Amino acid sequence: MILKIVWNHFKSRPFSNLLTLLAIAFCLGLLGGFWALSDNLRLMHAAKGSQEGEMSVFVDGSLLSEKASLIESQLKQFSWVASLQKVSSEESLKILRDKFGESLTSSLSEKSLPNTYRVKMQGSVPEKELQSAIESMKTWEGVIDIDLGGELWSGELSKGSSGLLLSWSNLLFAVVFVVVILLVSHITRIAFESSRDDVETLTLIGASKRWIFTPLLIESVVMGILGSAFGLFMTALFLRYGLGPLSSILFGKIAPIQELSWNALWKILFMGTAASVVGAFLTWPLIASSKNRS
Partner 1 sequence: MAASKVNTSPYVIEIKDLEKEFSDTGTKTLSGIHLRLNPGEFVFLTGASGSGKTTLLKMIMGLSRPSRGEIFVMGQPVHKMGDSSRRTLRRDIGIILQDHRLLNSLNVSENIALTLTWTSLSSEAKRKRVAEMLQIMDLTHIAFSRVASLSGGEKQRVAIARALIRAPQLILADEPTGNLDPPTSRQLVRMLRDLRARGSTVLFATHDMTLVRDFGGRVLELVSGKLPADSHPASDQRFKTPNFWGNA
Residues that bind partner 1 (CB under 8 A): 1, 4-5, 8-9, 12, 198, 200-208, 211, 292, 294
The nearer residue to partner 1, 139 or 294, going by C-beta atoms, is 294
| Alpha-carbon distances, residue 173 vs 35, 36, 58, 169 (angstroms) | 9, 13, 30, 6
At 196, is the secondary structure helix, strand, or coil?
Answer: helix
Instruction: Select 211 or 270, whichever has its Cβ closest to partner 1.
Output: 211
- Closest distance of CB 205 from partner 1, Å: 5
Pairing of β 143-148 and β 115-121:
unpaired
Least distance in angstroms from the C-beta of 258 to partner 1:
45
| Cβ nearer to partner 1, comparing 14 with 123 | 14
Q: What is the CA radius of gyration of the chain?
A: 27
Query: 155 with 125: CB under 8 angstroms?
Result: no
Burial 14-28 (b: 16+ CB within 10 A, else e): eeebeebbebbbbbb
| Least gap, CB of 188 to partner 1 (angstroms) | 17
Residue number with CB closer to partner 1 (178 or 207): 207
Rounded distance, CA 119 to CA 59, Å?
13
β-pair partners for 121? 81
Minimum Å gap between C-beta 20 and partner 1 is 20
Least CB distance to partner 1 at residue 11 (A) = 9
- The terminus-to-terminus CA distance of the chain in angstroms comes to 24
Q: How far is the CB of 10 from partner 1 (least distance, A)?
A: 11
Comparing CB distances to partner 1, the nearer of 11 and 111 is 11
Distance CA 186, CA 111 (A): 52
Closest to partner 1 by CB, 17 vs 154, is 17
Q: Measured from the CB atom, is 64 or 204 closer to partner 1?
A: 204
Which of 139, 140, 141, 84 is CA-nearest to residue 116? Answer: 84
Output DSSP code: residue 238.
Answer: I
Least distance CB 141 / partner 1 (angstroms): 59
